[in-house]
Amino acid sequence: MFSLEGMTALVTGASGGIGSEIAKALARQGARLALSGSNGGKLRSFREELNDEIGGDHVEITCDLSNSESVEELVPATIDTLGKLDILVNNAGITRDNLAMRMKDEEWEQVMTINLESTFRLMRAAARPMMKARFGRIVTITSVVGATGNPGQMNYAAAKAGVTGMTKSFAQEVASRGITANCVAPGFIRTPMTDVLPDAQKEALNQRIPMGRMGEGEDIGSAVAFLSSREADYITGQTLHVNGGMAMIS
């Protein structure tokens, strides 16, 4: 069940904490991956790790998501390398946190360019070959703050909320062609960035979560693998919240 054998996938931000777990989850189910990120050395190391640990013939494609020309080349480069594209996972994203009154224009623009605009460009590019094949899975990683808001993250919350609305619109446009488009919205997930937080801060975060703990990258990877599968064929335009109950959103 949930086998991705014979399928290909492009994962952006693939060498990051959550991105790497998404890539591993897809690879374990049999997908062949194009791993994308901006750090070529880190990406290469992860690809070698993935090939050794799980097996397969995965590839890496470096891409700067702040450069529109580079973004437009990513899907064609993936198809040139893998032969087709069945699954697109828009995972890459950045934060430039600041209170609204102090937020610089560039902090707003950088987050919008990478978190929202590049996602649009990749969805649009992926739609063409997927429509021709009459099959496709697009999964975009949003965030619980896109639904709840968060002080100091007006730019990030706006971009993630925008991705959710964009996905719903896109899902309606391509549903008749066998393409689904969904979001996964993580809550607090344990990553190398959260590992360095003081224990008191971790405890304060955990107290906000009914399950009493942060999630793991594998939790997000499993959600993405499910939505990428043929078994999720009748699910589209949805947001799957993976947050341990910290925000129970209907």
Query: Which helix (H) or strand (E) is 130 found in, with range?
Result: helix 118-133
SS3 state at 171:
helix
Could you tell me the two tokens for 76?
Answer: 């064609």
Query: How many Å is the Cα radius of gyration of the chain?
Result: 17
- d(C-alpha 228, C-alpha 181), whole Å: 9
Show which residues are catalytic. Answer: 156
* Closest CA relative to residue 171, chosen from 109, 118, 95, 232: 232
- d(C-alpha 141, C-alpha 163), whole Å: 9
Ramachandran category for residue 198: left, alpha or beta (phi over 0 → left; psi -120 to 50 → alpha) = beta
SS3 state at 32:
strand
